[in-house]
Copies of this chain bind each other. A is one copy, B any other.
Amino acid sequence: MARWDPGARDRLRRAALELYLERGFEDVPVVEIAERAGLTRRTFFRYFADKREVLFAGSERLPGAVADAFRDADGDLSAFDAVLHALTVVGAALIEYGGNARERRAVIAASPELQERERTKLAGVTAALADALRERGVADTGAQLLAQVGVAIFRTAFDRWIDHDGRADFRCCFGAVTAELRTALAGEAEIGMPAS
């Protein structure tokens, strides 16, 4: 690797991603991840509960961060615009912090177990947003709907950002996806049609 990784956690994370991509998540034992990172199995478990959590470290803070960003949104925004604001702010921060998004996505796409874990993570974000919407007075099923649709936009924007090799601005991806959904719902045009 060209860059020097100062921390053990980062080295473990990179080693795990490399190995998962090479051989598949299911077939890589923890001891090999540790070896490739130049560390021991014991050190691995000081940082991560198991080999799955290497890919989800920090995600337990995501629901709270999104709910906080929702509550901090300008009071003049509509409930749904506050949802969009919160998800943009947290998404942009995520991208600052975490690299290897493309590799992580490829590893998850190849494993039903990891896809399930990813859904659980996003369900936590959805539930936190729905709670925050209810606090604001949005009725129960409406809160669920707006939270789910917000998270769908978030996922799509994140995928779009990865597809642009991280060179696009996340906020622009998010805005473009929201605009596409608005158009599709307004029934004015087909969404995402290839130019012909």
Contact = CB atoms under 8 A, between A and B. Distances in A.
Interface string A168-188: 000000000110111011110
A145 interface: yes
A121 to B, nearest CB: 11
A156 interface: yes
A141 to B, nearest CB: 5
A163 B141 contact: yes
B152 A148 contact: yes
Contacts of A143: 192
Contacts of A58: none
Interface in A139-155: 139-146, 148-149, 152-153, 155
A186 B193 contact: no
Given A116-B116, A149-B149, A156 B141 contact: yes
Contact of A153 (B119, B145, B178, B193): B145
Contacts of A184: 78-80, 146
Contacts of A192: 138-143, 145
A149 B116 contact: no
B191 A146 contact: yes
A120 interface: yes
A190 interface: yes
Contacts of A159: 141, 144
Nearest to A142: B192
A79 B191 contact: yes
A78 B190 CA distance: 6
7 contacts: A79-B190, A79-B191, A116-B119, A145-B152, A145-B177, A148-B155, A149-B181
Given A78-B184, A119-B123, 7 more contacts: A78-B187, A78-B189, A79-B191, A141-B156, A142-B180, A142-B193, A145-B152
